[in-house]
Amino acid sequence: MSPLQQMTKLLTTPEPSIVRALLWSAKLHDGLKIAFISLLLLSLAACSLLPSQLASPAQQISPGQQVTEEPPKVLAPLSAARIKPQLLWQHKLHPLQPGYIKLHPTLSGNTLFAADKNNIFALNKNNGKILWKKTLDETITGGLNTGKDSVFVGTENGMAIALDSNTGKTRWISLLEQPIVAISTEKKGKVVFRTLNGKIHALSSTNGDLLWLHTQRTPTLSLQGSSTPLLAGPLVVTGFDNGSVVAYDLDTGKEAWSIKLGSESNLTELSRLVDIDAEMKTVGTALFAASYQGFLAGIDMRSGRVGWKRPISSYSGIDANEQELFITDNQGNLWKLNPLTGEPVWKNDDLIRRSPTAPSLATKSLLIVGDKLGYLHWYNTVKGETIGRVHADSSSYLLAPLVQGRTVYAISRNGLLSAYRF
């Protein structure tokens, strides 16, 4: 294979190794080396990485060294499971798209809405029966979220779509030109769409007309995925790939406040990955948000003032109530903290290197988390003990389990949508 053919192969590999490519370039003569590095830099423009592609902070790579990843932590047997989940129903969707696309199932009344690559489903939440199905000629990359009578989805080609939640018929389509990665709920006749290039579009939920638009700078290198814009009080709060959390007035689009949660020690390109991809959480006037390689913070939404912050890095998400805050970090630790002070209460390391999902509060005393090996775990919130577990699928869980009452809904990367009673 000629040097030019090898160069082309490296640059077109679905998940190129930047380190391998740079080491290989050292073998080229100067003229071809300059051309190769130039092409490599172009290929990195607006490049998104999966969290699983990144080495741990302690991992150092030397020339010629192969990166070896430690295996996921082995689960300890449960001596006496107090929670024994019972499978209610399952429905097989198409596998989720490669990457870290977040297609969240969502509930409205007795209907569960879910999506895969090209289809949106409305299912009876009690038995999994399909009520309607809508097939698009587009690849779905953002959503789902709901409004009063609508379901909102976004596509790879930038189509913001509203469907009638009762029938699946198209209400309106608005072209936003860039891939849509996250969608808010509906409030006051508005719904907010986030696109891959860092733009926030506030649209009329009635007809899809653009009401206002804002843009944040998108770093050259970022993680794949995005947190969901939150509508809280008069504000829409959004996390961006540059480590900023920004609040806008929902009616006018005027910026209310902006803060940075990224680390200040940005010495290398990878250390500048400070995306706010972890799902944020609001409790009253408090906002809890976390960045990758940055901080977890408690924020007063009325002023944007940071009440406290802790060096906990996350790309999955947070759940909280007035007394408790829970988060999974990049290493796989599950934390409980005091939401008023940020002080840790306990830490559970059972899911180290198992890429846990964001935690979901099921009851005041129960927490549910999924992992990349297809397990769902139930934890006691008081002490952080594992009190139930089910191997629900052979593929991974990326999205936090959706809980309503004593039923949990979870969709695996393989597209298996499961409902368990606990």
Q: Of the candidates 378, 372, 376, which has an alpha carbon nearest to the alpha carbon of residue 413?
A: 372
What is the DSSP code string of 25-43?
Answer: HTTS-HHHHHHHHHHHHHH
φ and ψ at residue 19, rounded to 5 degrees: -65, -45
φ and ψ at residue 99, rounded to 5 degrees: 110, -150
Question: According to the model, what pLDDT value does residue 81 have?
Answer: 85
Q: 101-215 belongs to which CATH class?
A: mainly beta
CB 40 within 8 A of CB 6: no
| Residue showing tokens 């006051």 | 188
- State the alpha helices, DSSP H only, in 15-110: 18-25, 30-44
How far is the C-alpha of 155 from the C-alpha of 143, rounded, in Å?
9
Q: Of the candidates 140, 103, 102, 105, which has an alpha carbon nearest to the alpha carbon of residue 119?
A: 140
pLDDT digits over 151-195, tens only?
999 999 999 999 999 999 999 999 998 999 999 999 999 999 999
φ and ψ at residue 265, rounded to 5 degrees: -90, 65
Q: Of the candidates 113, 115, 143, which has an alpha carbon nearest to the alpha carbon of residue 125?
A: 113
User: Would you list the domain boundaries of the chain?
Assistant: 3-44, 101-215
Q: Residue ranges of the chain with pLDDT lower than 50?
A: 2-46, 50, 52-67
pLDDT digits over 335-350, tens only?
999 999 999 999 999 9
Exposed / middle / buried, residue 311 (Cβ in 10 Å: 0-12, 13-18, 19+): exposed
How far is the C-alpha of 405 from the C-alpha of 363, rounded, in Å?
8
Helix (H, G, I), strand (E, B) or coil at 199: strand
Q: First CA to last CA across the chain, in angstroms?
A: 58
φ and ψ at residue 30, rounded to 5 degrees: -55, -45
How far is the C-alpha of 409 from the C-alpha of 178, rounded, in Å?
30
How far is the C-alpha of 211 from the C-alpha of 237, rounded, in Å?
16
Strands 106-108 and 86-92: unpaired
Question: According to the model, what pLDDT value does residue 61 have?
Answer: 33
Q: Of the candidates 281, 241, 279, 247, which has an alpha carbon nearest to the alpha carbon of residue 261?
A: 241
Buried b / exposed e across 126-157, counting CB within 10 Å, b at 16+? eebeebbebebebebbbbbbbbeebbbbbbbe
**pTM (predicted TM-score):** 0.84
Q: For 311, which DSSP code?
A: -
- State the alpha helices, DSSP H only, in 253-348: none
How far is the C-alpha of 204 from the C-alpha of 178, rounded, in Å?
18
